[in-house]
Amino acid sequence: MPHTVSYKNYEHHTGTRAQAMAPSKETAQALARAETICRAHGVRLTTIRRTVLEALYSSQKPLGAYELADLLASNARRMAPITVYRALDFLIEQGLAHRLASRNAYISTLHDDGSQEATAYLICDGCGTVEPASSAAFAGALSDLLSRADFEPRAKVLEVAGHCSRCQGHGHGRH
Amino acid sequence: MPHTVSYKNYEHHTGTRAQAMAPSKETAQALARAETICRAHGVRLTTIRRTVLEALYSSQKPLGAYELADLLASNARRMAPITVYRALDFLIEQGLAHRLASRNAYISTLHDDGSQEATAYLICDGCGTVEPASSAAFAGALSDLLSRADFEPRAKVLEVAGHCSRCQGHGHGRH
DNA sequence: TATGAAAACGTAGTGATATAACCTATATAA
DNA sequence: TTATATAGGTTATATCACTACGTTTTCATA
């Protein structure tokens, strides 16, 4: 088998990718929290999944699936899209990542305030950053809205695009 | 020119598509309102645009762009995707249609309560219907959230997937 | 009523996002 | 150790959205 990458021990293999710079202390702590959550859920935070989560956590902007694939590529061999999507699906199921439907992009939720029922994501058109925002009043109002409509919620997509405090008034953004 | 559809008079041509069943009285009234809005904005509600809007308005479920293209096809000749997207872009700009980011699908806003700053769309996993929902409290809480974050909003994506009142408790839905 | 500019649309191709199908490898527990 | 479930690899394809460019129509003006 000439061209095929050695198939065994891919856990170790993926561990040697370009991304393998030592994570910051904060990142390491966040990943440790993720590890704990996964153990509690009885699921496995494998190398691929951890690598994807770390990339999302470290990034200042949301990342697309193909962007992640490129980012996590080792020399000339990038991750297959489906691999990234599988990792993302896992992370989203475990509540560790979030899909921004309005951008087809993904972020880590390890920065979020986990105590709120409803988190809105504020996406800056200028600098691309995303800030989670929540309040009891907002969660309550939404909950009222839903119960008044007798609607049983499963997934909430709450996103606002605009300009963050730092990007207002000096021509940032695209319109 | 053997295969090419006669190019002139396409306004009339599109008017003769399969969809040309007489709209209901309610639909006709909604379309008349749309017409009025467009005239007020100084823009044109052409046949294609009106046809797309009518399809969205009449549909019980949100429709994808390619779904619309199929729906509005005349004998064996369906609308090109770009044509649909152009019509949708127009309708969205005029506030007549809305894109559901979580579904890659589109709905008419002619049912909405136009008086609210923030409308959440409740998307039923069971029957596929979408209900707009809004309240002063919800709009206010969101507005507070945004001003507290010093965030200048441009576009709001507020969608909740779940089960509507009619689809609760009898095994509808996909999970 | 000519005509020139802008808006709308047609046609072909492509980019971007996401998943299907099927197989191999690994982890976990009996 | 072996059965089983879970995870990942590989290839191909589905789905959604847009670019580029030419043609037609509309509308205001000459």
Which pLDDT tens digit goes with each residue over A111-127?
998 889 999 999 999 99
Distance between the two ends of chain B, CA-based, in angstroms? 53
pLDDT at position A18 over 50: no
Pick from B131, B138, B117, B127: which is nearest to B160 by CA? B131
Same domain, B133 and B52: no
Q: What is the mean pLDDT of residues A66-79?
A: 90
pLDDT > 90 in chain A, percent? 76
Q: Which residues contact A40 (CB under 8 A, 6 or more apart)?
A: none
Which pLDDT tens digit goes with each residue over B54-98?
999 999 899 999 999 999 987 778 999 999 999 999 999 999 999
Per-residue pLDDT, B171: 53
Per-residue pLDDT, A15: 34
pLDDT at position A6 over 60: no
Same domain, A68 and A133: no
Same domain, A63 and A144: no
Same domain, B19 and B94: yes
Per-residue pLDDT, A174: 38
Same domain, B130 and B154: yes
CATH number of the structural domain spanning residue B139: 3.30.1490.190
Cα-based distances in Å from B18 to B23, B28, B72, B75: 13, 18, 7, 7
Cα separation, A134 vs A17, whole angstroms: 37
Same domain, B28 and B103: yes
Per-residue pLDDT, B9: 34
Same domain, A34 and A61: yes
Q: Is A143 on the interface with B (CB under 8 A)?
A: no
> Is A34 within the bounds of a domain?
yes
The number of domains in chain A is: 2
Q: Is B61 on the interface with A (CB under 8 A)?
A: no
* B162: closest CA of chain A, how far (Å): 4
Per-residue pLDDT, A171: 54
Cα separation, B139 vs B43, whole angstroms: 30
- Chain-centroid distance of CA B122 in Å reads 14
Same domain, A40 and A89: yes
Chain A residue closest in CA terms to B174: A154
Q: Is A92 on the interface with B (CB under 8 A)?
A: no
Same domain, A102 and A40: yes
Which pLDDT tens digit goes with each residue over A77-104?
899 999 999 999 999 999 999 999 999 9
- pLDDT-derived band at A23, boundaries 50, 70, 90: confident
Identify the residues numbered 74 to 113 in chain A whose C-beta atom is closer than 7 Å to any atom of strand C: 80-82, 85, 89, 99, 104
pLDDT at position A140 over 60: yes
Per-residue pLDDT, A145: 98
> Is B20 within the bounds of a domain?
yes
Domain of A132, in residue numbers: 120-167
Q: Which of A54-58, A62-66, B13-17 has the lowest mean pLDDT?
A: B13-17
Share the mean pLDDT of chain A: 87
Same domain, B29 and B102: yes
Cα separation, A172 vs B14, whole angstroms: 42
pLDDT at position A26 over 70: yes
Which pLDDT tens digit goes with each residue over A157-173?
999 999 999 999 865 43
